Amino acid sequence: MPRLKGADRRTSILEAAERVILQKGLAAATTRDVTSEAGVAAGLMAHYFSWSTLRAAAFARLILADLERSVTDRVADAPDAVVTDLVDGAFAEDADALWRLWLEATELGTSDPALAEAAAEATDRWHAALSGLLERGTAAGCWHCPSPDDAAWRIIAILLGLAGLCLIPGGPLSRDAATHHLRIAVRNESG
């Protein structure tokens, strides 16, 4: 197999980190896991990334890819259809890994500035996209939302809280109950 060039090698390491972090989580993933997945030595990984910046970059790419799939790539779709899909899929089992990453990034960010910055940027991007979606829906007559910016913050807070409750093994809230509560919150915010 030919040797990868610098940019390709860097991308390969980042993609390996995404796979490992998605499977193991931010806290449990190790540099050894990533170098093994990427098939590179620790020194080569360290040439391109510190562990902190690699975790932050992998987290950001995973969360922002989800944002693109869920909202930003769907600008041609009716806003109410996008919101319905967001609510219906928010607590599906296949969303668990991303919710765990999001909650871990928030916690680990208290001692990891790169991860804190990535989590803040991802949150801001989700907020902007959700606010824009609520604005589009208001303009299209799907609902009446007098303050999409504020509504987006409240919906994000509810999403994160409900996700945390759903992820507790044997926890107090089922996926169906979380979806029900989210649906009510979104309905209340969108008038």
What's 25's domain CATH number? Answer: 1.10.10.60
pLDDT at residue 8 in the model: 87
pLDDT at residue 3 in the model: 60
The answer to whether residues 174 and 91 belong to one domain is: yes
CA distances from 183 to 46, 94, 132, 142 (A): 45, 19, 19, 15
pLDDT at residue 191 in the model: 77
Q: DSSP secondary structure string, 149-180?
A: HHHHHHHHHHHHHHHHHHTSTT-S--HHHHHH
pLDDT at residue 130 in the model: 97
CA distances from 55 to 2, 170, 171 (A): 27, 29, 28
pTM: 0.91
The answer to whether residues 81 and 166 belong to one domain is: yes
Distance CA 5, CA 3 (A): 7
Block means of pLDDT (10 residues each) for the chain, 191 residues, are: 70 97 97 96 94 98 97 96 97 95 96 98 98 97 96 97 93 94 96 77
Determine phi and psi for 124, rounding to 5 degrees.
-60, -40
60, two tokens: 């950001």
Question: Which helix (H) or strand (E) covers residue 71, if one does?
Answer: none
Which residue type sits at 75? Answer: V
The answer to whether residues 185 and 95 belong to one domain is: yes
Domain count, the chain: 2
The answer to whether residues 36 and 63 belong to one domain is: no
The answer to whether residues 95 and 156 belong to one domain is: yes
Q: Count of residues for the chain? A: 191
Neighbours of 37 (CB within 10 A): 18
> Could you give the 3-state DSSP secondary structure of residue 191?
coil
The answer to whether residues 98 and 65 belong to one domain is: yes
Which range of residues forms the domain containing residue 178? Answer: 58-189
Determine phi and psi for 180, rounding to 5 degrees.
-60, -50
- Boundary (domain end) residue, out of 31, 49, 67: 49
pLDDT at residue 1 in the model: 44
CATH of the domain at 129: 1.10.357.10
The answer to whether residues 41 and 90 belong to one domain is: no
Distance CA 89, CA 30 (A): 30
The answer to whether residues 75 and 113 belong to one domain is: yes
